Structure 1
Amino acid sequence: MSYEFDFADVFSAWPELLQGLLNSLVLSALAMAIGMVVSVAGALGKTSGPKWLVRIIDEYIELIRNTPFLIQIFMIYFGLPSMGLKMSSNTAALLALVVNVGAYGIEIIRAGIESIQKGQVEAGKSLGMRPLQIFRYIILKPAIQAIYPSLTSQFILLMLNTSVCSAIAASELTAVAGDIQSRTFRSFEVYFVATCLYLGLSVFFWTVFAGIERAFLRKPTR
């Protein structure tokens, strides 16, 4: 093999890579936070809402889960402007990520809610608790404890999906790596470094999620 590895050009563009990494981190964190709100609201609507609302949520879930994420991004970034809803690439990327993770998150949280024994809910009603209080204090935390591994895995996949947002020139890590590669023509070196950075970002989120579990969700030992 005559190929000579040369990381000099890549390392000279290190500030750009770090900025792309930071942008990916911010984009992922925002999408996770907003997506969690969408997921909880959608799961609540699906488990206790009126039939017409359940139907709408079901259609939303099926639409998102049965279409490619790349097409969803294109529909938001290129399709919505034809309806007068124009937005920046970063905003479109955030919206697409939230819409995508929300559909999966609703089903994950719904499964957790339905795993709660009905007797616990009936006990809350007998104490005079309102439906929102029952959901918050009796259902939500035990449900999240049950589905936390699945939910955090979905969030990690969301973070990795930010790389697809480079297709609409969102300023995240993969887009920055592509720009550097087009200037330096060091494809292997650029994408090898980008791979390592994504791995580091995954480890970072896993560490954060593990800390949250230890601090707030770990079941008490007897």
Structure 2
Amino acid sequence: MQSLNFQQIWRYQDHLIDGTLHTLLLTLAAALIGTAIGLAGAAAVRSGPRPVRWTIRGYIELIRNTPSLIQLFIVFFVLPNFGLRLNSFEAAAIALGLYFGAYSIEIIRAGLDSIPGSQMEAGQCLGLTRWQVFRHVVLPPALRNVYPAFTGQFVLLLLGTSLASQISAEELFHAGGFIESRTYRSFEVYAVICGIYFALVMAFKLLFAAVGRLAFRWPVGR
């Protein structure tokens, strides 16, 4: 049995650092795209015309019920046939953003729907405008309600960036494949890659927990 040897892996620490940074950038880019889609889509589903609501519903069902890898391949390999050429990072950010957006629409919509109508009516009775009601009465509790689900979906997005290695995006998993092809130390390489993903996830969970405690400190009604 071949003995473990992690020393060869550390010779490629620059690749691991670059891969980690690209993974973080890809996650943030996809999250921004997906959040924008989620906000616009949730608003349209709640108050848009019926054809728009049907279109968004179709988009949600299509994205949530098809493999993410196929969606990635469509963006990277099919769109150039229609004149839209993207590099691997751009294609991965768009594909993952569309994936994140479909889930974000449902998460945000559920948060808005969780606010009872009587609460909004109470705000209007106080003389607040519709925007003020939304900003001060609807949005804060809605954000608190969806925060755990939204941050959990962000973590899944972070782990899902490993799919981008299939189109040669230079993220962490792609870096692992490169190092493995040079060292032939498969177990050591992917143990290190797994450890980095685990450390990133735990760091974000701690960050989100701290942000949640600071942002949502007001008491919850019983």
SS at match of 2:121: helix
Deviates more, 1:207-216 or 1:72-81: 207-216
Shift of 1:26: 1.5
The 8 Å contact of residues 35 and 102 in structure 1, kept in 2 or not, is answered as: yes
Please name the residue that 1:121 is paired with: 120
Please name the residue that 1:207 is paired with: 206
Question: How does 1:26-105 map onto structure 2 within 5 Å?
Answer: 26-105=25-104
Shift of 1:196: 0.2
One-letter identity of the residue aligned with 2:55: I
Percent of aligned pairs with the same amino acid: 44
Deviates more, 1:136-145 or 1:110-119: 136-145
One-letter identity of the residue aligned with 1:129: T
One-letter identity of the residue aligned with 2:147: Y
Partner Cα distance (2:140, 2:173) in 1: 36
Shift of 1:221: 7.1
Partner Cα distance (1:218, 1:80) in 2: 46
Shift of 1:128: 4.7
Partner Cα distance (1:122, 1:110) in 2: 19
Is it true that 1:186 corresponds to 2:185 in the alignment?
Answer: yes
The 8 Å contact of residues 76 and 92 in structure 1, kept in 2 or not, is answered as: yes
Partner Cα distance (1:118, 1:40) in 2: 20
The 8 Å contact of residues 73 and 96 in structure 1, kept in 2 or not, is answered as: yes
| Structure 1 unpaired stretches of 5+ | none
CA offsets 1:68-98 (integer angstroms, 9 cap, x no match): 0000000000010011101010000111111
Partner Cα distance (1:141, 1:34) in 2: 22
SS at match of 1:196: helix
Partner Cα distance (1:133, 1:165) in 2: 42
TM-score, L = length of structure 1: 0.94
Partner Cα distance (2:209, 2:43) in 1: 25
Partner Cα distance (1:142, 1:39) in 2: 17
Deviates more, 1:46-55 or 1:169-178: 46-55
The number of equivalent residue pairs is: 220
Is it true that 1:14 corresponds to 2:13 in the alignment?
Answer: yes
One-letter identity of the residue aligned with 2:94: L
Please name the residue that 1:216 is paired with: 215
SS at match of 1:141: helix
One-letter identity of the residue aligned with 2:129: M
TM-score, L = length of structure 2: 0.94
Change (3 A) 1:135 1:55: farther
Partner Cα distance (2:104, 2:220) in 1: 28
Partner Cα distance (1:97, 1:156) in 2: 13
Shift of 1:37: 2.2
Q: CA RMSD in A?
A: 1.5
| Structure 2 unpaired stretches of 5+ | none
Please name the residue that 1:164 is paired with: 163
Change (3 A) 1:37 1:203: same
